[in-house]
Amino acid sequence: MLTLEDETGTANAVVTPPRYERWRVLLNTSPLLEVEGPLERIDGVTHVRVTRMRAIDAPAAMPEGHDYW
């Protein structure tokens, strides 16, 4: 299970054992991931049942002249 966080709170990204085996290297080497799957809310807890995953290239630094805060 992975924990996702954004400005609205946290969610659990649930990765089943077969999918973990498939994406093991990606999960252990990628600093930034995109996950996709159905969203579930159970007893106030949000889960994403991961069906697809891919690495996202993150810039080495933020471009000059932009205020991201």
Domain boundaries, the chain: 2-55
Q: What is the pLDDT of residues 34-52, one digit of tens each?
A: 999 999 999 988 999 999 9
Mean pLDDT of the chain: 86
Coarse DSSP helix, strand, coil percentages of the chain, rounded to the nearest 5 percent: 20, 40, 40
CA atoms of 41 and 58, how far apart (whole Å): 29
Range 31-50 burial, b when 16+ CB lie within 10 A, else e: eebebebeeeeeeeeebbbb
In one letter, which amino acid is 45?
V
How many residues make up the chain in this entry?
69
Q: Do residues 5 and 31 make contact, with C-beta atoms less than 8 angstroms apart?
A: no
pLDDT above 70: residue 62: no
